[in-house]
Amino acid sequence: MQNLRSFLIKLFLGVTIPLVLLNTVIDSLFIRYTNAFSESKSLMISGFFGVTAVKVVIFVLILYIFIRILTKRIQLENVAYNQEKTQLFATIAHDLKTPSTSVLGYAKLLLEEKNIDPQKERQMLETIYDKADQSNQMLELMLQYARLEGTDYPLHLKSSDFSRLIREIVASHYAAFEEKKMELQIDVSNTPVKAVIDPLEFGRALHNILVNALSHNPAGTKILIQLRVDDQLELLIADSGKKLAKEFIPVIFDPFVQEDSSRSKTGTGLGLAITKQIIEKHNGTIQLVENISDYTKGFLIKLPK
């Protein structure tokens, strides 16, 4: 939708500016014509109607071209949307099939087998629970993504201490960073930094970025969390982990995209897509930045003050 909006603005400017210039040229020529034949009223009247007719023809022609280009673009957008929807359904089916297959397999075994070792039975039940929980988490993420896609998704905005929220979210993941022996460098002021945000939703966005850093980097990776306050708020979350594949960079915020194409790792590929939606609903932006001093990559979030 945003691509279509941007295209419409460019198309409108691309049509309006030449039309205004052309109108100016025609008016200039008509003034010269009337000056040259100012003594003949009939020639002036015919000139006036001639110029008007030319303007109408040009306007109709440009309008026709505008509608044709717009119609073609909408058709392409519809095709892309339908392809994305088809891919979405296929991905959902794929991601839910793996845990559901395990659940069905172990459940069937428990029903059919009469003399199962208690320890083995417990292991099966734990597997069933874990796989069912995994499916539930997937469904919750997909539901959240679908809701965020809607234009009427409500945000509970209020003036909040942005720096405190950052520190709280980082602190909630501190044990996980310690377990992977990741070095945290936090450059966030203790002085309150006010921002109008939905703390719950924005906290979820930050959580997704930190989980991404934990999941896709090796032990010992350095993590930087840096907040800068200027005309706007700039939050950088960077790491010294492995570089991203070039083909993955342009689609990193697309739904169901994972750098591991085999999808053998846990995760849905929705975390960064949801993060981007949340930040954009706060009138902010997020972008991937590379080759930062001492760090290989990072996510730069910009928010209005």
Q: Report the C-alpha gap between 107 and 204 in whole angstroms.
A: 34
Both tokens of 204, joined, read: 């979820």
**Single-letter residue type at 133:** D
Query: How far is residue 37's CA from residue 285's CA, in Å, rounded to a whole number?
Result: 60
pLDDT greater than 60 at residue 261: no
Average pLDDT (91-116) is 80
Q: Which residues of 65-92 are buried (b: 16+ CB within 10 A; e: fewer)?
A: ebeeebeeeeeeeeeeeeeeeeeeeebe
Q: Taking 60 as the threshold, does the pLDDT of residue 57 lie above it?
A: yes
Q: Which residues does residue 224 pair with via DSSP β-bridges, in sequence order?
A: 185, 238
Percent of the chain with pLDDT over 90: 35
Q: What is the pLDDT of residues 208-251, one digit of tens each?
A: 999 999 989 999 999 999 999 988 999 999 999 988 888 888 88
CB atoms within 10 A of CB 257: 16
Nearest-angstrom CA–CA distance, 128 and 106: 7
105 band by pLDDT with thresholds 50, 70 and 90: confident
Choose among 109, 112, 106: nearest CA to 129.
Answer: 106
Mean pLDDT of 298-304: 95
Distance CA(239)–CA(92), nearest Å, equals 30
Residue 11: the pLDDT is 64
Summarize pLDDT for 87-102 with one digit per residue, the tens. Answer: 666 766 766 777 888 8
Please name the residue that has the structure tokens 């960064």. 272
Prediction pTM value:
0.64
The residues near 252 (Cβ < 8 Å, ≥ 6 apart) are 244, 272, 288
- The amino acid sitting at 159 is S
